[in-house]
Structure 1
Amino acid sequence: MPPVSRLLEGRFALVTGASGGIGRGIALRFAEEGAAGVAVHCRTGTEAVGEVAARVRESGARAVVLQADLTDEDACRGLVREAAEWAGGRLTALVNNAGVQPTQPLPGMTAVDWRTVVDTNLTSVFACTQAAAEVMREHGAGGTVTHIASIEASAPAALHAHYSASKAAVVMHARSAALEYGPYGIRVNTVSPGLIDREGLAEAWPDGVRRWREAAPTGRLGRPEDVGDACVFLASRLASWITGHDLVVDGGVMARPTW
């Protein structure tokens, strides 16, 4: 565990997609940095997200497990409302982490395939952000919203046309939201991770892992807590004059020359 500085003392946060590696890392880092409570969301992985909630509590924060299908706009708004009610109306941070990353050739991709990714990765961000901003405005103390984008927002990969497009749109949504919600004390940013390690990745994709390590100046894959640290920073007082920004967390891969 990194040194704890209680950067998020007293905050109440909602982390979507918290059953997976990155979401788990974000939720735990929020708890470790003094958040009063972390609402952890999942669509189907209730057992996994329950374990995350237990670890959040071990770190001294309150936790609640919330379930919703974020491809449904009403479900997004209901999720935020439920999290805010649990937090006594004091929802001060939202991390839009939930997303999907299927691989599919662009030729032959259907509109249904496209919408499945866009609705999960982008429309949910729009709906959750809008709902959270309403809560933050009503409470009057402002807050922070952080979207998890990707380096593929600006450096697309083959078979990821729908994913890359959705993440590029997420970055621009944050900039637009930062512009319009800034007067209410609400800051909106994105974190764009590179390749984040997970159990079994090296065995499932050895060539990709090898190429990433060779390309990264830091010589390693990312860890969920690397993304969590970036989210903690953006939600903290240390980033009080940062909004509309895309924070790339990729071990330096995007700094490599392309020729």
Structure 2
Amino acid sequence: MRRSDPWHTNRFSRTKGRAMFDMSGKKVLVTGGSRGIGLGIASVFARGGADVAIAARSKTGLDDATTALARLGPGRIHGVVADVTSAEWTRDAARDVAATFGGIDVLCANAGIFPEADLADMTEDELTTVLDVNVKGTVFAVQACLDALTASGAGRIVITSSITGPYTGFPRWSHYGASKAAQLGFMRTAAIELAPRGITVNAVLPGNVLTEGLADMGDEYLASMTAAIPAGTLGTPDDIGHAVAFLASDEARYVTGQSLVVDGGQLLPESFDAVGH
């Protein structure tokens, strides 16, 4: 892969047309939105006419991502540097977005990391880092946006979890799997607490999605992952983005506390032979 290629062109996306759900006028914040699945989510909302803010830990890549998103639709695009492991920094980012757009209607709590570590050798710092970003970062993002989402009158929170942890396991990802399962536990109680505010809280659970992180694992790994999927192909960031758009739409107003698996049927086979490619 040529690392000089701008990932912000959504090179892994197959869906270049208009978003299914009309997001005109919606004000959306996507954490971890400058690359990978987050950028796919942001792209779907941008094509749907939303005002889209993306937050990332580093300004590196953020400007390029916002420039690319601005070409996709008529809505405003905004980038903000934020580390979701800091409650204060995350609150400041949410205030910045709300001030820029005049509110926040949709929070896509997408920021996450997936480093590898053998369970026997995992250090306390390695465990803490994953839980801080994936779990505390999700909670902090929700807390930071609560006032704006309440003021929206129809606030939507969509968390990016994973099939790894809630449904499956994978060697060297025990800390990651734990964090992704924890997000769903948080989601269910948050959905109950926030329902009186008119806010729904749901999650998408991606299977194997072709992002730069997955691509870096090499062709052999990609081929083995693809072979295990009944659909016969890896997902794209846009595939996840369209699922998020549904959960954030007016049409999904009566859906809350739910997790939507988006995996091309990856969970279905009881053995490799059942796939039948």
Q: Which runs of 5+ in 1 are unaligned?
A: none
Shift of 1:207: 3.0
Task: Verify: 1:240 aligned to 2:253, yes or no.
Answer: yes
Q: Which runs of 5+ in 2 are unaligned?
A: 1-15, 273-277
Distance between the aligned counterparts of 1:188 and 1:121, measured in 2?
16
Distance between the aligned counterparts of 1:17 and 1:204, measured in 2?
20
The TM-score with structure 1 as length reference comes to 0.93
Identity of aligned residues (%): 35
Distance between the aligned counterparts of 2:164 and 2:132, measured in 1?
17
Q: What one-letter code is carried by the residue in structure 2 that aligns with 1:180?
A: E
More helix by share: 1
Distance between the aligned counterparts of 1:130 and 1:215, measured in 2?
38
Secondary structure at 1:253 match in 2? coil
Residue number among 49, 63, 70 corresponding to 2:84 in the alignment: 70
Task: Verify: 1:117 aligned to 2:130, yes or no.
Answer: yes
Q: CA RMSD in A?
A: 1.7
Q: What one-letter code is carried by the residue in structure 1 that aligns with 2:35?
A: G
Task: Verify: 1:7 aligned to 2:19, yes or no.
Answer: no
With over 3 angstroms needed to count, the CA separation of the structure-2 counterparts of 1:203 and 1:98, relative to structure 1, is closer
Q: What one-letter code is carried by the residue in structure 2 that aligns with 1:136?
A: L
Q: What one-letter code is carried by the residue in structure 2 that aligns with 1:187?
A: T
1:194-239 Cα deviation digits (max 9, x unpaired): 1111348557333322222221110000101001111111100121
Q: What one-letter code is carried by the residue in structure 2 that aligns with 1:147?
A: I
Instruction: Give the match for residue 149 of structure 1.
Output: 161
After superposing on structure 2, the runs of 4+ consecutive aligned residues of structure 1 that deviate more than 6 Å are: none
Task: Verify: 1:87 aligned to 2:101, yes or no.
Answer: yes
Residue number among 141, 147, 157 corresponding to 1:134 in the alignment: 147
The TM-score with structure 2 as length reference comes to 0.87
Residue number among 166, 174, 180 corresponding to 2:179 in the alignment: 166
Distance between the aligned counterparts of 2:86 and 2:252, measured in 1?
32
Task: Verify: 1:101 aligned to 2:129, yes or no.
Answer: no
Distance between the aligned counterparts of 1:5 and 1:257, measured in 2?
33
Instruction: Give the match for residue 194 of structure 2.
Output: 181
Distance between the aligned counterparts of 2:213 and 2:129, measured in 1?
26
Task: Verify: 1:29 aligned to 2:41, yes or no.
Answer: no
Query: 2:27–2:104: 8 Å Cα contact kept in structure 1?
Result: yes
Number of equivalences: 255
With over 3 angstroms needed to count, the CA separation of the structure-2 counterparts of 1:206 and 1:57, relative to structure 1, is closer
